[in-house]
A and B are shown apart, each in its own frame.
Chain A
C-alpha cells in the first residue's frame, strides 16, 4: 500500500520531470575549483532579487567563500526543509546509521560553514561517506515535486564532489585517495590491480584485454574501455566488442586511452580529471572520432555531464551507452539471442544508470529477451535504495562499508531465490561478486550474458 503510494508518487512526478532530467548546463561540473568563477544563476533567493541575503563572511577564506556562495541556495532549500526523505534511501547511511553521513547533513554543513560554526576540517571525513549514487536526489521531494516548476533539483552529488575538491585544494584530502590518484596520474590508468609495488596496469597493458580480437584503432566510433574493465574484469570489454562485431557495428579503440578522469573528479581531483579529459578528447579529435560508446555507467555520466562542462560547445561528440545500444540491436533483430541461459536471475540497477541517468527500461528489455532466463525483477524505485557501494571512491577509503553495502544487496537478492545477480556496471561487480561468493549467488555482467546467449565464446576473466 504505502510502498505503492511512494512509487506512484514518484512515477507520477517523473512523468512531469523527464522533459528535463538533466541539470541545466550552467549548474553542472565541479565549478567550485579555485580560479573558476562560481557560475551565476542569480544570487541567493530564487528570483535573484534585491532581497538577497548578505553573505559577507569574513571568517571564511577565499576557497570556502566561493564554495558557500555557490551552494548557499541549494543548501538552504534542503536546510529549510530538512525532512530527511533522503536518509533511508542512502546506501551509506543504511550501513553506518550515522546522521553525519546523511545527504541532508551534507547540505546543513554548508550552512554551518557559512555561519562560521564548522570548518572544512570538521566535516572532511563526513563527505567521504558517499558513493555518489544519486539516490537522495531522486528521492528528495524537492526534486520530485517542485523540481519541474522551479527547474530545481536538490544537488547532493555535486555538493559532495565540490567539498572533496575543496579538501584537495586545502590539502585535507584523504590518504588513500591521494595515493590512488597519484598512481593514476603516473600510470594514466587507475591502479585497479593494487596500489602496492609494481603496477601491471599501465599504458603498456591498456589493450591487453583485446588479445586476439583484432580491433582497429580509431575510426568514426570508438569503444571506451574503463580501467576496471580493461585490467580487472576483462570479460566485459571482450563480450562487448564481440557482440558489436557480431551485430555489424563498426568501432575502434583509442590511440592512447587514459582513464576517463571520472574517478578523480569524484574524489575531488578536478585538475587531474580535466587534464585526463583533455588528453582523451584530443586523442579522439586526432583520429576523427564522432561517436563514443561508453561501456560503463560511470564513464557515461562523466562524458555526458563533466566533459560538456569542461569543454562547453567544443564537446560535440555523440555518447552512447552500451545498454541502450545493445537493447536496440536486439530489438532490431541485428543481434540474435539463441542460446538459452537456464538460470533464475534478478537485476541490479546500477546507480549511475538508474538514479543518475534514468536508464532502467533497456536492461530489463535485454534480460527479457534472453531465452531460458527466468527474470525476477525488483522495480527501479525500490532499487533507489540499493547500491553496491562500489562508486565515488568509497571502496578505496572505506572498503568495509562497500563490502557491507554489497552484502546487503545480495541479501535482498537471496530473498528472491535466484542463483544469479545481473549487473550492468563493472565497478559494482567486484564488491557484488565478493558478497555473492558468500551468499552463493553468481554475479554476472549483463553484456557477458548477452554474449553467451548470442553464442559467443567470450574469454577474458571475471576476477583477478
Chain B
C-alpha cells in the first residue's frame, strides 16, 4: 500500500520537465484547496485532509502517460479530475499526491459525419461540444442535469446517467471507445473489440464496461470517440398531476412500458418533493393544494414519430386519473430541469427558517416493484436524522427511468437532502456518513444498487461496495491489483485498499 510522501521538489521539477509549460504544474495553496472540494456536502472542517500535493494541467496523452509513470516510480497517489461536479467525491484526493486536471484536454479532434462520431479530449463539456456540432445538425445527447458543467472525462469516470437515456442511452452507450492511460502508464484503446468507431463486437473481453465508471481507480481517459445522433426535430413534454403517490407511480409504469421509441424519459415526484418545491422553489409552477405527486414524461424525435406518440402519452397519462398540466408549463418546466438543482442554496431548519444548504443526492437504482417500500424506509430514516440533528432537511424524492432504450424495470430513485454545511463539524459529518450508509443499505436490501450514476466512492457508500458486489468483489480486487500494482490510482476509494491487504476482506 502506498504511503503518502509529502512530495519534494524533485517531483515538481520532474513534472515541470514533462509538462514543459509555465503554469502547468501548480503547487500554490489556492490551486490545491480549489481542487479538493465538490458540490456534494463537504467536510469543510477537514478540508486540509483532502488536498493534492501538486496539480498538473496536461495537454497530451503522452504527458499524462509520463506523469503516471513517474507516479508509479515514486509510488505517489494520482487522482484524475475533470469538471469536479461529481457528487460522490470521486475527484477528491484522499491521500494527497498528484492531481491530474484534464480541463486543458478539451479539443474537438474529429467530427466524422459519415460514421456519426466525434472524437474529443476528456476536458470538454457537453454543452460546449454541442455548440460546435450545431452547424452539422447532430448532437452528442449525454444530458445529465449537470449538462453545462460536467466534462466528458468525468462522465466516463462515473458512467453517468443522462436524462434522455431512455431515448439515446447513457454515457456508457454513447461513448463508443476511448483512449486510456493505465495505472502503470501504458496507453490503450478500449471499446467494443478493436475499432475506434465500432459499436458492437464479440472479439475479446468487453473492456469498455470495465473502464467505464471506475472513478479514476483504473487509469485516466485521454481521448474519447462519441456517438452523434441527428438533432431531434421536435420535442414534447407533459406533466400529469395526481392526488396520491400510488396512482402517479402506476401511471409512471404505464408510460414507461408504452413501447414508444421516442420516449426520452419518465419522471416521478413524490409528495415530499412536491411539498419541498412548493415551499422553496419559486420557479416551480404553483399547483393546487390537492396535488400530491407529479409524473412527467418527454418525447424527442422526428415530427412523424412524436406527433402521434403525443396522443398515446396523453391517453396513458390520464388513464388512471392524472390531470394534464398544460403545454406551456410542461415544456418550460422540463426545460428548467437542468437548473432546478439550484435549490440547495436554501432549505429550512426545524422552525421553518430559511438557511443556506448544500445538496445531497442519493442515486440508487431500484427495481420498480420495490420503490414504494424503499421510499417509505428512506423517508423514515431522513425524518429520524432531521429530528436528531440540526443540519438536515428532507427535500423529497425523484424517480427517473434508469435503463437505456428500455425504460422499464429498474428506476433511478433519488432522495435529495439539504445539509447545512456552514454548521458542519465532525459530529454532524459522522451523522451524515451514517445516514448515507443506512440509505444505501436499504437499496441493497431491496435488490437494488446503491448508486445508479454518481458512484459509490463516498464515505458511507464506499464501505458497502464489498457487500453489494458479493462474490464478484474478489474479482474486482484481483483486477485492481493486476492493473494497479502499487495502488496509486485514486487510492482510498470504494474500499479498494482491501485489494492490497492479503486479498482478503478484513
Contacts and interface: CB of A to CB of B under 8 A. Distances in A.
Given A80-B421, A105-B30, A117-B33, A145 B342 contact: yes
Interface stretch (B37-45, B109-117, B392-400): B37-45
Contacts of A49: 353
Contacts of B37: 79, 82, 108
B103 to A, nearest CB: 4
A146 interface: yes
A152 interface: yes
Given A16-B282, A47-B353, A99-B35, A9 B148 contact: no
A1 to B, nearest CB: 5
Nearest to A53: B422
A59 interface: no
A8 B332 contact: yes
Contacts of B39: 81-84
Interface residues of A, number: 63
B34 A149 contact: no
B325 to A, nearest CB: 15
B473 interface: no
B47 A126 contact: no
* Interface residue range, chain B: 35 or more
Contacts of B231: 1
A83 B341 contact: yes
Interface in A1-48: 1-6, 8-10, 12-13, 16, 44-47
Contact of B342 (A81, A87, A98, A148): A81
A152 B33 CA distance: 26
B134 A84 contact: no
Contacts of B57: 97-98
Interface in A302-332: none
A53 B29 CA distance: 25
A211 B357 CA distance: 59
A99 B55 CA distance: 10
A85 B341 CA distance: 11
Contacts, number: 203
B422 A2 contact: no
A144 B341 CA distance: 11
Contact of B345 (A16, A81, A87): A81
Nearest to A80: B358
A135 to B, nearest CB: 12
Query: Which of A79, A83, A415 is the most central at the interface, judged by chain B CB atoms within 10 Å of its CB?
Result: A83
Contacts of A118: 29-30, 33
Interface stretch (B124-132, B286-294, B478-486): B124-132
Interface stretch (B139-147, B376-384, B488-496): B139-147
A10 B336 CA distance: 8
Interface string B22-60: 010010111101110111011010011000000001000
A445 to B, nearest CB: 27
Given A88-B127, A145-B343, A5 B85 contact: no
B151 to A, nearest CB: 9
Contact of A1 (B139, B146, B148, B422): B139
Given A82-B39, A84-B84, A97-B106, A1 B232 contact: yes
A415 B108 CA distance: 15
A272 interface: no
Contacts of B143: 1-2
A87 B123 CA distance: 12
Interface in B324-367: 331-332, 334-346, 349, 353-359
B127 A146 contact: no
A141 interface: yes
B31 A6 contact: no
A3 B335 contact: no
B438 interface: no
B146 A83 contact: yes
Contacts of A8: 331-332, 335-336
A100 interface: yes
B354 A77 contact: no
Nearest to B59: A97
A109 interface: yes
Contact of A6 (B48, B127, B345, B356): B127
A12 to B, nearest CB: 5
A3 B127 contact: yes
A126 B34 CA distance: 11
A84 B342 contact: no
A77 B345 contact: yes
B8 interface: no
Interface in A127-165: 139-142, 144-146, 148-150, 152
B104 interface: yes
Given A84-B83, A100-B31, A111-B44, A6 B338 contact: yes
Contacts of A126: 30
B423 interface: yes
A108 B421 CA distance: 13
Nearest to A47: B353
A142 B357 CA distance: 12
B150 to A, nearest CB: 9
B301 to A, nearest CB: 11
B300 interface: yes
A46 B149 contact: no
Nearest to B38: A82
A139 to B, nearest CB: 8
Contacts of A12: 283, 332, 335-336
Contacts of B23: 96, 98
A88 B148 contact: yes
A6 to B, nearest CB: 6
B33 A13 contact: no
A148 B149 contact: no
B101 interface: yes
B332 A46 contact: no
Given A46-B346, A118-B29, A4 B335 contact: yes
Contact of A145 (B30, B134, B339): B339
Contacts of B305: none
A123 interface: yes
Nearest to A7: B335
Contacts of A198: none
A414 B226 CA distance: 26
29 contacts: A2-B338, A3-B131, A5-B335, A6-B335, A6-B338, A12-B335, A16-B283, A53-B422, A81-B359, A82-B358, A83-B149, A87-B83, A87-B125, A87-B149, A97-B123, A99-B84, A99-B101, A109-B30, A109-B34, A111-B44, A112-B33, A118-B29, A139-B148, A141-B339, A141-B341, A142-B342, A145-B339, A146-B280, A149-B282
Given A9-B335, A47-B354, A145-B336, 9 more contacts: A45-B353, A80-B419, A80-B421, A81-B345, A108-B33, A112-B30, A142-B345, A144-B339, A152-B345
Interface of B: 23, 26, 28-31, 33-35, 37-39, 41-42, 44, 47-48, 57, 83-85, 101, 103-104, 106, 123, 125-128, 130-131, 134-135, 139, 141, 143, 146-149, 231-232, 235, 280-283, 300, 331-332, 334-346, 349, 353-359, 419, 421-423
Q: Which 5 A-B pairs have the closest CB atoms?
A: A141-B342, A149-B282, A8-B335, A80-B358, A82-B39
